[in-house]
Amino acid sequence: MQCVFCDIVNKKSPTSVIFENDDFLAFSPIKQISKGHTLLISKEHTENLFDINDEALAKIAVLSKKLAAELVKKHSATGVNILHASGKDAQQSVPHFHIHLVPRYPNDGLDLWLKNKL
């Protein structure tokens, strides 16, 4: 099965790279939900939270914090959401582990928080 994120890692699909090292790649998604919205992916194909090894998960968590701080500063944001979904029923759209870094702004109209439906 072809993976769009693996194609990006292997330079088969063009993208706006924001950060890259030996293990991870951060880039701008085609559909940004806020200015500076960034996807951070593992270069090694793992489908979700349950497949990624603990060492890579720890590294990507620390990198998420670093990149989020840089995005907030660069875009003069006042906050950030860090989002992840694992599995179809959790609304994971691409079966390759990834984290959304979403800079937030005053009155940006986004509501990314869970709603209590009870």
Structural Rg of the chain based on CA atoms? 14
Cα 14 to Cα 10, 18, 29, 44, 99, distances in angstroms: 10, 13, 11, 18, 19
From the candidates 37, 84, 98, 100, give the one annotated as an active-site residue: 98
Encoding tokens for residue 94? 């691409």
Among residues 29, 45, 44, 8, the alpha carbon closest in space to that of 83 is found at 29
Does the annotation mark 98 as catalytic? Answer: yes
Active site residues: 98
